Structure 1
Amino acid sequence: MGVRGHGRPLRGRTVVVTGAARGVGAALARALDDRGAHVALVGLEGERLHEVAASLRNPSACREVDVTDEEAMAATAREIRTRLGPASVVVGNAGVAEGGPFADSDPRVWRRVVEVNLFGSAATARAFLPDLLQTRGYYLQVASLAAMGTSPFMSAYCASKAGVESLANALRAELAHRGVAVGIAYFNWTDTDMIRDADHYAALRELRAHMPSPARKVYPVTLVADRLAAAAERRAPAVYVPAWLRAVQPVRAALPAVVTRVARHELPRLEQAQAFEATGLLGGGGRADTRRSTDRPAR
């Protein structure tokens, strides 16, 4: 992570990061703190949020909240505004994932991935938009390579990430004339507990194993966080980690056919060797969300 210095555009600014209790969110909070920002950490795991906040040097705030709860998110925005001032940057990072065959997936888990990743991003943008309009700020939406190329065994995640990409593109066009910039972050496999958990399941382990060599590489979370923080400094319309992901954009229309061709050849062989199972929500963040599921009203 970078060292704080003079002239940093985020110095003294309020920056909100959702999904900040662990993984990319926690690392990003520290990278932004290094740049002099006052970071507001939002997420499900209150104890972990406080631990991250305690590691920061600049004034910060944390709020335990479900990003899909629009009323709670609106209250969170008001609380952060009172404590740190209106947000100049908001990073929609909160997300969960599950994997496995669609036919065997639990509909409630599948729906929850879309709720957190897509509806939670929309609730985040809606709650903090008054601040961003006031500060002529920057909203950064975390997407994924999954937004550009679909994959077997990741239907909910791919659908939700394609959705947040479209949401961010729509907001960019809608808000440009009002001085609010919108960026999209695309990154590949990152060394978080979500990815480490995924490697315990045959379906997702084989998915990564059959990707081209550069696409299989797992990147350090601090590298990803530093790139996102730098994107926030320059209000970038897009950030790619690794940088070669930018080259996927011009050919993304061809990816579904390529993926289907490979899957048609490989899946029968793999299914004979081992059964693919649904994973449930992955990683520590997914388990935290699952534990809270009993508190959510039935749909």
Structure 2
Amino acid sequence: MSKYQLKDKVVVITGSTGGLGQATAQALRDKGAKLALLDLDLNKVTQQANDLGGNSVVVGWQADVCSLASLETAMASAAKHFGKIDVVIANAGVGNPASLEHMAPETFERTIDINLTGVFRTFRSALPYVKETQGYLLAISSLAAFVHSPLNTHYTSSKAGVWALCDSLRLELKHLNIGVGSFHPTFFQTPMMDAVQSNPAGKAVWNGNTGIWKYVAIETVVSELVEGIEKRKDIVIVPKSNKFVANAPGLFRNIIELIGFNQKQLKQTMQLAEKHD
């Protein structure tokens, strides 16, 4: 397949002012893409757009991935401004460790609503425009789609659901020559991960992000994301060394759990979680 050239392509990014959203927006602008940035805070997203080049190449709109009407309005505005939409990145997401026993029900529901149902709403609102350009849809999932950790029932459920959603939707849209991909990075430095590390239980469950849970550079994550769009990949695993875990979910589960979550550490983690909750 020939490389999908990003120059002058119109790319929509939800959650654009977050850590990954900002880095991705900059990388896509460097490739010559035009950007429609969507986020909750209109002032922040407007400033982001101005910093990246201004109205002719980047525009920010307020949008809430928990509202289909909000996304439909933003997509229509972006398509009208730029004349088309080629690529949509469903990037908005939340996550903070908590035990199922002690988390507020609203925490579980909100995580699913943003991380999973938000992808549905984003893609649903974008489809009329992406059909016209035979474009590409990319959802930000996580390695958590395949590695299911304690204190993350809400997060792993949402990210596994994103993976399944993309696989099903790809089959629905294949005859229209629309690509659908899911993106599965391991840990990298973002404000969301800073919040996880500030939670004693979160720090404990990932062993301070050392060993097999160590961070990869955000530059690596973004580079692989951009390449995934350019190749219209079905699935992108970062780092590539994790592809065996992703390609055989369940096969390595017991090994991962043995190495990553020893019983003594797990007991201490759950005690920390109970105190924190």
Q: Same fold (TM over 0.5)?
A: yes
Alpha carbons of structure 1 residues 270 and 92: separation in structure 2 relative to 1, 3 Å: closer
Could you tell me how far apart the structure 2 residues matched to 1:21 and 1:189 are?
Answer: 19
User: Partner of 1:252 in structure 2?
Assistant: 249
User: Partner of 2:223 in structure 1?
Assistant: 226
Query: SS at the partner of 1:103?
Result: coil
The question of whether the paired residues in 2 share the 8 Å contact of 1:104 and 1:278 is answered with: no
Give identity over the alignment, percent.
28
Q: 1:143 aligns with which of 141, 155, 173?
A: 141
| One-letter code aligned to 2:246 | Q
| One-letter code aligned to 2:20 | V
The question of whether the paired residues in 1 share the 8 Å contact of 2:4 and 2:232 is answered with: no
User: Partner of 1:80 in structure 2?
Assistant: 78
User: Partner of 1:43 in structure 2?
Assistant: 39
The question of whether the paired residues in 1 share the 8 Å contact of 2:186 and 2:215 is answered with: yes
User: Partner of 1:239 in structure 2?
Assistant: 236
Task: Compute the displacement of 1:265 (Å).
Answer: 4.5
The question of whether the paired residues in 1 share the 8 Å contact of 2:112 and 2:154 is answered with: yes
Could you tell me how far apart the structure 2 residues matched to 1:18 and 1:108 are?
Answer: 22
Q: Which moved more, 1:149-158 or 1:198-207?
A: 198-207
Could you tell me how far apart the structure 2 residues matched to 1:212 and 1:256 are?
Answer: 19
Deviations 1:1-24 (CA, angstroms, capped at 9, x unpaired): xxxxxx971111110011101210
Task: Compute the displacement of 1:222 (Å).
Answer: 3.1
Alpha carbons of structure 1 residues 211 and 62: separation in structure 2 relative to 1, 3 Å: closer
User: Partner of 2:93 in structure 1?
Assistant: 95
Could you tell me how far apart the structure 2 residues matched to 1:66 and 1:42 are?
Answer: 8
Task: Compute the displacement of 1:218 (Å).
Answer: 1.4
The question of whether the paired residues in 2 share the 8 Å contact of 1:147 and 1:158 is answered with: yes
The question of whether the paired residues in 2 share the 8 Å contact of 1:28 and 1:222 is answered with: no
Give the RMSD, CA atoms, in angstroms: 2.1
Could you tell me how far apart the structure 1 residues matched to 2:248 and 2:78 are?
Answer: 41
| One-letter code aligned to 1:50 | T
Q: Which moved more, 1:113-122 or 1:219-228?
A: 219-228
Deviations 1:221-246 (CA, angstroms, capped at 9, x unpaired): 23312221221122112212111121
The question of whether the paired residues in 2 share the 8 Å contact of 1:141 and 1:184 is answered with: yes
The question of whether the paired residues in 2 share the 8 Å contact of 1:186 and 1:245 is answered with: no
Deviations 1:120-155 (CA, angstroms, capped at 9, x unpaired): 000000000111111000001111010011110011
| Alignment partner of 1:110 is 2:102 | no
Alpha carbons of structure 1 residues 134 and 195: separation in structure 2 relative to 1, 3 Å: same
| One-letter code aligned to 1:66 | D
Could you tell me how far apart the structure 2 residues matched to 1:275 and 1:98 are?
Answer: 11
Deviations 1:276-295 (CA, angstroms, capped at 9, x unpaired): 4557xxxxxxxxxxxxxxxx
Q: 2:12 aligns with which of 11, 16, 25?
A: 16
| One-letter code aligned to 1:77 | M
- Map 1:167-182 onto structure 2 (within 5 A): 167-182=165-180
| One-letter code aligned to 1:268 | K
Query: SS at the partner of 1:67?
Result: coil
| One-letter code aligned to 1:94 | A
The question of whether the paired residues in 1 share the 8 Å contact of 2:204 and 2:265 is answered with: no
Query: SS at the partner of 1:104?
Result: coil
| Alignment partner of 1:125 is 2:131 | no
What number of residue pairs does the alignment pair up?
271
The question of whether the paired residues in 2 share the 8 Å contact of 1:151 and 1:259 is answered with: no
Could you tell me how far apart the structure 1 residues matched to 2:275 and 2:20 are?
Answer: 27
Deviations 1:175-200 (CA, angstroms, capped at 9, x unpaired): 01110011111101111011011111
User: Partner of 1:291 in structure 2?
Assistant: none
Task: Compute the displacement of 1:260 (Å).
Answer: 5.7
| Alignment partner of 1:156 is 2:183 | no
TM-score of the aligned structures, taking structure 1 as reference length? 0.84
Query: SS at the partner of 2:64?
Result: coil
Alpha carbons of structure 1 residues 45 and 221: separation in structure 2 relative to 1, 3 Å: farther
